[in-house]
Amino acid sequence: MSRQDFPRRLRLLTAGDYRRVFDTAAYKVHGKGLMALASPNDLGHPRLGLVFSKKNVRRAVDRNRLKRLARESIRLQQQRLPSVDIVILARRGAHELDNDTLHRQLHGMWKRLARDVQKSKTDG
């Protein structure tokens, strides 16, 4: 049985990690209210970073809910995701999504990201 926790190795921890993804993002996946930037890594597993600003998601309770659901989604999908560093950004209106819609959005984004990474590996 695979572990389904969210350890430190699955997180982007430093400003340099985030900067590298922003500067070298090879993949961009949009969802309603969310956008994910991804950059390949050599670690053999995905890592996640979250950027949910007050400007786009006003209330702390909404930002925390979005972050919790994003972490849960990546935790459950980590076996299916390629080796990439992912930064999820919230857009205006992200807090208006209910939990079920957000789960579907994130699941679809992970599927598109995996497909894009696979496609670029077969093309290149």
Per-residue model confidence as pLDDT tens digits over 40-85: 999 999 999 999 999 999 999 999 999 999 999 998 888 899 999 9
What percentage of residues in the chain have a pLDDT greater than 90? 79
Quote the CA–CA distance of 66 and 105 in Å, as a whole number: 12
pLDDT at 113: 95
Q: Answer whether residue 104 shows pLDDT above 50.
A: yes
Q: Which residues have C-beta within 8 Å of that of residue 103, sequence separation ≥ 6?
A: 69, 73
pLDDT at 81: 92
